[in-house]
Structure 1
Amino acid sequence: MPFFQPSILSLFYTDDGPNTTTTPPLLLLHGYLCDSHDWSAQIPALLTAGHRVLALDLRGHGRSTAPPPPYSPHIFAADILALLAHLAIPAVVLVAHSMSTITASILAVEHPDVVRALVLVHPIYGIVGPALGSLLEEMRGEPAQAPEIAARFFAAGMERDGTPAWVRTWNRRRALGSGPEVVVGCMAGLVALDGTVTGQGAEAKGYMRRRRAPRLVVSGVELALAWERELGLKEGDEVKEVKQGTFLHVVEAAVVNGYIIEWLKKIV
């Protein structure tokens, strides 16, 4: 049954591949107003490489239910811990995109025994800031229009000239189909972490440096790549550049898959 129901919440997930104790499963986490379909180009490749692969729709996203707010990376982290306990999985490799790179990092800092390694695709924890605060104010001023505001945000900041038309259409329709409470709630959850967990200040830097799991970072944003190097790269850590906007793992799937699979061979 691909639904986990802690209390009033119903979380959709898939679980494929070999159930082995020799290597930890991979748990794939999507970004803001997206869903686990974003990993459709990664799941077959990772299964072929021999991994057990779980992919989750976060609360309020995809086929999971949308309970009342709040929404935040810490709440998503709690849902993930509950799912892993339900499945009796002691540790995973987190493969996270965009918004979920914050949740994955929180788990790595606050629950290090659960996180064997981190694959961070387009991490945003070093590049969010005042712009999101302004966006949140606009959404709160017109909450019914929040999905449309989010769709414009996707088009303006998350796409590139080379982003295929189908990806643009897919992202716009998902944003428009999201509930206003989810759209605003997730943005509020991100803004609340600015300066402590996210951003480029000393406190956020200190927080991110508490991650001990090896990490692979794949991004096309120079500021984000520079931040990873500023945080420090330990043995096993790698940074790869793929210039295809926020959805680089969709647009350049073969390249990203190759980076992930080859890195995992060395780590797990």
Structure 2
Amino acid sequence: MPYADIGDDIRIFYTDDGSGDGPPLLLVHGWGTDSHQWSWHIDALTAAGRRVIAVDLRGHGYSSVPETGNTPRMMAEDLNALLDRLDIPQVIAVGHSMGGQVVSILAVEHPDRVRALVALDPGYGITDDIAQGFPGMIEGLHGERPHAAAEAIDEWCTNAATPAVVRRWHKRRLYGMAPHVLAQAFEAMFTDPGAIGVRPASDDYLARRRCPVLSIWADPRRASWEAGLLKVPKSKVVCWEGSSHRLHEERPAEFVHLVEGWLRRLRV
């Protein structure tokens, strides 16, 4: 059954596909979406000989929707508990957007759990000029039309490269979300005490990662910034300039090819 009860009335939905000798891939979606986000990639990754676990984070998709605790740190602890339940000692953690925060927290707080990390246009490294707009966004998420506010935020995530079906898919996911989860998760990423989404908090926390990191960005400035943080050998930063925040959904085959090539060089 693709559910795991991990305590405190939290039930996590996941799928477990494929097989392989190395650490499984753990796929972690972004804010306001769910593990269906990886439908573009799972078949290709399993065909490459990988075991692939895709999860719905708490508050998202088919997983439990608690009234509180919908934060990247609690989500990372949920993943650690899920891997305990599945008797998986180590994974290659892959996270998009907020999921990039979640897997980075998992790697910092449970370093033996993460063999390697892939971050896709992750939700960290935000500069102050962008962060100045966050209070207004949060006010909208707490307002009378939270889903409309979330949709307005999500418009930043697409551009002319984004297929219409991807835009529609994410809009439908957002409108199915509990508003309090959208607000809590956004605040916990960027404005709450201990949030790591905005610089310099991003720098200090991410420098604690002790595994190889492959980071894929759409923004060359943020790509250059993270390149300065990666000290573990064989870490790599790639920039797909011109892509949107949905870069791996716009270029799924290229994403799988890049990740598989990097993992082969790591001998994972």
TM-score, normalised relative to structure 2: 0.92
Q: Does 1:68 align with 2:44?
A: no
Question: Deviation per CA, 1:110-159, whole angstroms, max 9, x where unpaired?
Answer: 1100110001111121026332233112222x1x411111012112x100
CA contact (8 A) 1:195 1:204 kept: no
Q: Distance in 1 between matches of 2:65 and 2:238?
A: 34
Q: CA, structure 1 residues 50+184, in 2 after alignment: closer, same or farther (shift >3 Å)?
A: same
Determine whether 1:145 maps to 2:145.
yes
In the other structure, the counterpart of 1:250 is 249
2:164 match:
165
Whole-angstrom distance in 1 between the partners of 2:45 and 2:113: 20
The answer as to 2:11 corresponding to 1:5 is no
Superposed, which structure 2 residues align to 1:31-50 within 5 Å?
31-50=30-49
1:197-212 correspondence to structure 2 within 5 Å:
197-201=196-200, 203-212=201-210
Percentage identity across paired residues of the two chains: 37
Aligned positions, number: 262
The aligned residue for residue 77 of structure 2 is 78
* Aligned-pair CA distance for 1:70: 2.5
- Is the CA contact (8 Å cut-off) linking 1:133 and 1:191 kept in structure 2? no
What one-letter code is carried by the residue in structure 2 that aligns with 1:13?
A: Y
Contact in 1 for aligned 2:18/2:49 (Cα 8 Å): yes
Q: Establish whether residue 223 from structure 1 lines up as the match of residue 225 from structure 2.
A: no
Counterpart-to-counterpart distance in 2, 1:53 and 1:101:
17
Q: 1:97 to 1:214 in 2, by over 3 A?
A: same
CA distance in 1: counterparts of 2:77 and 2:230, whole angstroms: 27
Retained in 2: the 8 A contact 1:148–1:175? no
Secondary structure, in 3 states, of the residue corresponding to 1:14? strand
SS in 2 for 1:231: coil
Q: What letter is aligned with 1:147?
A: H
SS of the counterpart of 1:40?
helix
> What is the Cα deviation at residue 193 of structure 1?
5.1
Preserved contact between residue 196 and residue 207 of structure 1 (Cα < 8 Å): no
After TM superposition, which residue ranges in structure 1, 4 or more long, deviate above 6 angstroms? none
Do 2:107 and 2:113's aligned partners in 1 also have CA atoms closer than 8 Å?
Answer: yes
**Cα root mean square deviation, aligned:** 1.6
Q: Distance in 2 between matches of 1:66 and 1:209?
A: 32
Change (3 A) 1:55 1:223: same
8 A contact 1:57–1:63 mirrored in 2: yes
Residue aligning to 2:258: 259
Given residue 182 of structure 1, which amino acid in structure 2 is its aligned partner?
A: V
- Aligned amino acid, residue 134 of structure 1: G
Sort the Cα spacing of 1:194 and 1:68 in 2 relative to 1 into closer, same or farther, 3 A. closer
Which piece of structure 1 moves more, 175-184 or 79-88? Answer: 175-184
Please report how far the alpha carbon of residue 233 of structure 1 lies from its aligned counterpart in structure 2 after TM superposition: 4.5
Q: CA deviation at 1:67?
A: 1.4
SS of the aligned residue for 1:239 comes to strand
Which deviations, in whole Å up to 9, do the C-alpha atoms of 1:149-206 show, x marking residues without a partner?
Answer: 1012112x100112111111111111111111111111121124577623222x4312
Deviations 1:7-45 (A, max 9, x none): 32221101111263xx11110000001111111121111
Structure 1, unmatched stretches of 5+, are none
Q: Does structure 2 conserve the Cα–Cα contact (< 8 Å) formed by 1:77 and 1:103? A: yes
Structure 1 residue 107: deviation in Å? 1.3
- Report Cα offsets for 1:71-106 as digits up to 9, x if no partner: 111000111011000011111110110001111111
Alpha-carbon spacing, 1:151–1:262, altered in 2? closer, same or farther (3 Å): same
In terms of mean alpha carbon deviation, does 79-88 or 232-241 score higher? Answer: 232-241
* 2:71/2:184 contact within 8 Å kept: yes
Gaps of at least 5 residues in structure 2 are: none
2:132 aligned partner, one-letter code: P
Distance 2:193 2:212 in 1: 24
